[in-house]
Structure 1
């Protein structure tokens, strides 16, 4: 089933296009694959990046929008990504980057397109675990910048995933969130014997 990619804010896309058109921005980027790319580079698949801030006692994930991520495609593959962020003046280009999450994001998106059901793809970052997931939101009409993971939404951990969590295995939020919460919650300090 096709994914319903939410539209990115126009200023976010413009800022990425401007950065791609700037020889200085591309040359100074820490992305050798983008600097060495042959042919035109185009931003595709804008995904809102949400950060898991906390989980309420009721088990609701509280997230905040951190930015929009665009995969940068040259030819038939993504070679890098561009991140944008919200500033007091609006959406602005932040940086280019590359690494394992580029290919993992593409793989998870292809996997999601073959699932039953329709989803709105987003990214959910779990900073306490150095983890990134493809968040498949069930409300196709939702604003990609808002909301929180519903219990029936799917999370697909991207590779590399933390130890004990299988990459590219879809989990319902209701199943994975308790595990993540347990992993991120610091263990209580034990008092020393008297």
Structure 2
């Protein structure tokens, strides 16, 4: 398999497993998890990185700056992915944040299948651009890299997940060098209307 899925920090996994075993799970706002019969498993951990909008590029090559925000686990019941769980990095360590369901679950699985079908070795990560309400599967070419570190390389691939922002097609792979300039333009502050110099 060309995907080299990283191991999440043990405390991050433990926080999700504790939440799955909690009585509060049956009271969660995630219907798929409240109604499932049988055991649930936390699988396919993906590091979630955020694009740093305050300083979107560093260095002469225009390498985007990112920071690790947490880890996302797919929650499976039997053969189905029912939901996802987010774990955040806090001052006290890794802490369970919440369960959720919705279009990003199926979209993430579809993008991972696209990555597997590419035949290239990748380390899958998630790259979030909150200002655009955008989430992408980030396929990092250095499969031995620390999943908590680094920035997207121009040759890395981003697959926008659905729903994608207007003008950006979901599930169409883009090289970082091609997609990042489009995102940077959208993230640039717009001049004030009617202002005079």
TM-score, normalized by the shorter chain, greater than 0.5: yes
Q: Distance in 2 between matches of 1:28 and 1:2?
A: 38
Residue of structure 1 equivalent to 2:133: 130
CA contact (8 A) 1:124 1:133 kept: yes
Secondary structure at 1:114 match in 2:
helix
Does residue 185 of the first structure (1) align with residue 188 of the second (2)?
Answer: yes
Q: Distance in 2 between matches of 1:171 and 1:6?
A: 22
Residue of structure 1 equivalent to 2:31: 32
RMSD: 1.5
Q: Distance in 2 between matches of 1:86 and 1:28?
A: 24
Residue of structure 2 equivalent to 1:21: 21
Specify which of 144, 149, 153 is matched with residue 147 of structure 2. 144
Q: Distance in 2 between matches of 1:187 and 1:121?
A: 33
Give the number of aligned pairs. Answer: 193
Q: Distance in 1 between matches of 2:6 and 2:164?
A: 25
1:89 is displaced (CA, Å) by 2.1
TM-score, reference length from structure 1: 0.95
Residue of structure 1 equivalent to 2:47: 48
Q: Distance in 2 between matches of 1:2 and 1:165?
A: 26
CA contact (8 A) 2:162 2:170 kept: yes
Q: Distance in 2 between matches of 1:190 and 1:100?
A: 36
1:192 is displaced (CA, Å) by 4.8
Does residue 10 of the first structure (1) align with residue 13 of the second (2)?
Answer: no
Tell me, which stretches of 5 or more residues in structure 2 are unaligned?
Answer: none
Residue of structure 1 equivalent to 2:93: 90
Tell me, which stretches of 5 or more residues in structure 1 are unaligned?
Answer: none
